[in-house]
Structure 1
């Protein structure tokens, strides 16, 4: 199984931030988690507001925890808010809005997740997908 190396994590971050700049987004923060939920890399653009680490982490960590992108978590929260509340109790810091994208290798195995925050959740997700694809992986937003 492939893994997200530090080099690949840095590529994801650089390309995610570049996509954000190309789209004219607000300052972004990007976190990369490995398959075990450990932080591989994080960057916060100048001008990004505080708590962005926690928000990016919550998107990516929640996605890994359920094996679905955070868009799935948002849809589930809208239909079953008690489910999401329970996940928060079990996992701790999760943020059920788009911007948490699973990273899959060429065989489809989950090898980590990316969390992006700073602009609208939909734009965060678009930027994350660009970074993941630039590193040669497949993004799964849920």
Structure 2
């Protein structure tokens, strides 16, 4: 398994924020978690509102918790709300079930972490996460 290094984490963030600037998005906040759900790196653009670390982390944490991107979790919230209620309860409310939480996979498809982005629409957040992950030479799995 490839480790998700600090250098790769920072490259993910840099590329994700660049994509946000290219798309003229609202101020973004980006967190990279390792496979155990621990923060590797976080950056919040000037003008980003409060609680952005918690929201970005919740998207990434949720993806890690179920082994699928937060887009999958969002679909489950619509079709199986009881599942998300239970998941939220057992996680202590840490999971944010909207797109923008993307798994990071290595070349062998092993999950080595997750990226969570918040600040613009969930779809745009996810686009930036995928761009960042791919710029670091890793595989993005949005669910």
TM-score (norm 1): 0.99
Aligned-partner Cα distance in 2 for 1:61–1:25: 23
Aligned-partner Cα distance in 1 for 2:3–2:23: 29
The Cα of 1:3 is off from its aligned counterpart by 1.2
The Cα of 1:134 is off from its aligned counterpart by 0.2
Q: Which residue of 1 aligns with 2:115?
A: 114
Q: Which residue of 2 aligns with 1:36?
A: 36
Query: Which structure 2 residues correspond to residues 1-142 of structure 1 after superposition, within 5 A?
Result: 1-92=1-92, 93-142=94-143
Structure 2 gap segments, 5+ residues each: none
Structure 1 gap segments, 5+ residues each: none
Aligned-partner Cα distance in 2 for 1:90–1:67: 16
Alignment coverage as a number of residue pairs = 142
TM-score (norm 2): 0.98
The Cα of 1:22 is off from its aligned counterpart by 0.2
Aligned-partner Cα distance in 2 for 1:68–1:52: 21
Please state whether the residue corresponding to 2:102 is helix, strand or coil: strand
1:103-124 deviation line (CA, Å, top 9, x unaligned): 0000100000000000000000
* Aligned-residue CA RMSD (Å): 0.4
